[in-house]
Amino acid sequence: MRKRQRQRINRIAEATAVGLVALDLLLFFAIYRPLGGRIAETVRKHEDLRQRLWNQQRRVGELAEFEAALPATGKELEDFTARRTPSRREAYSSAAHLVHRIADASNVAISGAAYHLDAAQNDPLERLAIEVNVEGSYANLLKFSHALETANEFVSVRDFDLAPEGENGALRMRLGADLYLTP
């Protein structure tokens, strides 16, 4: 009888164990696995939202710095345009004076100059196109173009072409630049 009792207890224990394993598998596939996927999805969404929040906070900080610097930048821009851009009324005389002053200082000869107001642009500053033909040595022409580009007035050199002039080693340079003006 003892043997039978042990067999019965073993069968009950085995059935209980198999039932528990089946219940465990059922719980795993029915509850834990779907919840695990939802939890992983929620964690991923949370991380994405946290990253977006951090990016937005950083952007707000940058914009706050920009907004704080805006009045000072506006003042600097006004000072720049007041000091470095002539008015449209005095544009041609300013440009001619600037070109002749720099040519004299650079020891080059002006063989022709033309000035054209470019009013077709819809920019805050107007442009006066300057086309200058000068002659001289390479070093002096380089000095002229550098001095024009670094002048106190707001001048931007667009292009230039060098060509030999005569047999004495002199060069001719055609230079195109823009002088920016306040309207």
Average pLDDT over residues 64-69: 86
Average pLDDT over residues 11-18: 86
Closest CA to 135 of 144, 146, 123: 144
Closest CA to 84 of 94, 99, 97: 94
Number of CB atoms found within 10 A of residue 154's CB: 18
pLDDT of residue 12: 87
- Global pTM reads 0.57
Q: Which tens digit of pLDDT belongs to each residue from 79-95?
A: 777 766 667 677 788 88
Average pLDDT over residues 27-39: 78
pLDDT-derived band at 131, boundaries 50, 70, 90: very high
Q: Which tens digit of pLDDT belongs to each residue from 90-116?
A: 778 888 888 899 999 999 988 888 888
